[in-house]
């Protein structure tokens, strides 16, 4: 394809390419199986944040991969919560079930050699009328190296649900990604692309900026991370070719503030420096970033407040 041509022009000029496909694919699974890592590798750019901690993804994030024959619109969803029940988790789960209702196919992600009750509960929610591809992730791990045991594991999971197919991948190492795209393509309806070919996400720079800060909080606070914590964009301005971004970190109690700030402000400084560098890379311009901590109590159970956050 000529580089200056967009896909619509390309299709218009090439009647033999009329079989172009485009559609939506939801990525679902229990927390921490690697859904966001997988989506980032599928689209070749980091638009969804990832971490060792469960429940990293709170908003669904769209990632778009376009080639000459198809456009795949992936929707990365929050890990489906079957344990802690509160307003936040109820909304996150609702988000996942709603997403599954509006797609052409589903990728159900599990970890190699580890199929838990939590996985099973998510599996039971999978719609029967849509193609569901079983994706076994983390095959790079030592426990997945025994081929016979892995085959047996796959066989056991397949026996529990009518999957349209199965793919084994290592999202982290980019293994099996091309095969996965190939397996998904037939599930997409014939359609012209819905998004411009150079678009990788439908999320705004504002949204991506708050997500980046959240990822650094997850990274640097580790186990100390207050469960009820969120980030809020206070200001986002473009000025002389650079972005000025002000972001507040919301915690529930005054005594959680020092956890985020650290001794002598050290942690918060590290978090904002790393976030600023990631933003500069993603946005391709200089960024001035100010991050601070605010107390907003009871927010995890305040559904109205969650709506304001767009959850």
Instruction: Work out how close the CB of 122 gets to ligand GTP at its nearest, in angstroms, rounded to a whole number.
Output: 10
β-pairing, 242-251 vs 287-295, is parallel
Alpha helices in the chain (DSSP H): 7-13, 35-43, 87-101, 117-124, 147-158, 177-184, 205-221, 257-261, 266-283, 303-308
Is residue 111 packed enough to be buried (19+ CB in 10 Å), middle (13-18) or exposed (0-12)? buried
Whether residue 185 is annotated as binding a ligand: the answer is: no
Q: Which residue is nearest to Mg ion (CB)?
A: 57
Residue 137 labeled ligand binder: yes
How far is Cα of residue 150 from the mean position of the Cα atoms in its chain?
A: 26
Binding residue for Mg ion, selected from 20, 26, 34, 36, defined by CB under 5 A: 36
Burial class of residue 164 (count of CB atoms within 10 Å of its CB; 0-12, 13-18, 19+) = middle
How far, CA to CA in Å, does 171 sit from each of 8, 47, 65, 66? 31, 14, 16, 19
| Least Å from the CB of residue 294 to Mg ion | 25
Between β-strands 21-28 and 105-111, what pairing exists: parallel, antiparallel or unpaired?
parallel
Question: In this chain, which stretch among 55-63, 116-124, 238-246, 292-300 interacts with Mg ion, using CB under 5 A?
Answer: 55-63
Question: Which one, 20 or 153, has the nearer CB to ligand GTP?
Answer: 153
Which residues lie near ligand GTP (CB under 6 A)?
29, 31-37, 50-52, 54-57, 78-79, 137-138, 140-141, 170-172
- CB closer to ligand GTP, 211 vs 252: 211
Q: Which letter does DSSP use for residue 292 in this model?
A: E
Residue among 51, 57, 81, 272 that touches Mg ion (CB under 5 A): 57
Q: Could you tell me the two tokens for 217?
A: 């909080």
Say whether 76 counts as a known binding-site residue: yes
Q: Is 37 annotated as a binding residue?
A: no
CB-based contact 135:38 (threshold 8 Å): yes
Q: Smallest distance from the beta carbon of 172 to ligand GTP, in angstroms?
A: 3
Contact call for residues 20 and 70 (beta carbons, < 8 A): yes
* Closest approach of Mg ion to the CB of residue 170, in Å: 16
32 annotated as ligand-binding: yes
Q: Are 56 and 217 in contact, with CB atoms under 8 Å apart? A: no
The residue of the chain with the least Cβ separation from ligand GTP equals: 79
Minimum distance from CB of 76 to Mg ion (Å)? 6
* Residue 34 assigned as binding residue: yes
Q: Which stretch binds Mg ion (CB under 5 A): 52-60, 85-93, 139-147, 242-250?
A: 52-60
Contact call for residue 170 and Mg ion (CB under 5 A): no
Residue 176 interacts, among ligand GTP, Mg ion, none and using kind-specific CB cut-offs from 5 to 8 Å, with: none
37 binds, among ligand GTP, Mg ion, none (CB under 5 to 8 A by kind): ligand GTP
Distance CA(86)–CA(141), nearest Å, equals 33
Task: Give binding residues for GTP as ranges.
Answer: 29-36, 76-80, 137-140
């Amino acid at each position: 394809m000529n580089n200056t041509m967009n896909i619509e022009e390309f299709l218009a000029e090439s009647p033999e390419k009329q079989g172009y496909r485009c559609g939506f694919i939801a990525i679902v699974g229990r927390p921490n199986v690697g859904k966001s890592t997988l989506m980032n590798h599928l689209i070749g750019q980091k638009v969804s944040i990832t971490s060792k901690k469960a429940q990293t993804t709170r908003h669904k994030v769209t990632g778009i991969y376009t080639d000459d024959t198809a456009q795949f619109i992936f929707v990365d969803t929050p890990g489906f919560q079957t344990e802690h029940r509160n307003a936040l988790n109820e909304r996150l789960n609702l988000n996942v079930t709603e997403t599954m209702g509006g797609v052409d196919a589903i990728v159900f992600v599990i970890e190699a050699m580890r199929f838990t009750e939590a996985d099973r509960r998510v599996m039971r929610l999978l719609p029967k009328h849509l193609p569901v591809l079983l994706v076994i992730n983390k095959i790079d791990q030592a426990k997945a190296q025994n081929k016979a045991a892995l085959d047996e594991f796959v066989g056991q999971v397949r026996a529990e649900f009518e999957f349209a197919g199965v793919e084994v991948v290592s999202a982290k190492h980019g293994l099996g990604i091309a095969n996965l795209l190939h397996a998904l393509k037939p599930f997409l309806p014939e359609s012209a692309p819905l998004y411009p070919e150079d678009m990788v996400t439908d999320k705004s720079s504002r949204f991506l900026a708050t997500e980046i800060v959240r990822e650094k909080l997850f990274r640097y606070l580790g186990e100390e991370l207050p469960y009820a914590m969120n980030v809020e964009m206070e200001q986002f301005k473009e000025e002389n070719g650079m972005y000025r971004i002000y972001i507040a970190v919301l915690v529930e109690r005054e005594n959680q503030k020092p956890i985020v700030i650290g001794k002598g402000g050290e942690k918060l400084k590290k978090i904002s420096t790393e976030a600023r560098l990631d933003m500069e890379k993603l946005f391709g311009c200089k960024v001035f970033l100010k991050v601070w901590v605010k107390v907003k109590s009871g927010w995890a159970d305040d559904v109205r407040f969650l709506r304001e956050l767009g959850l």
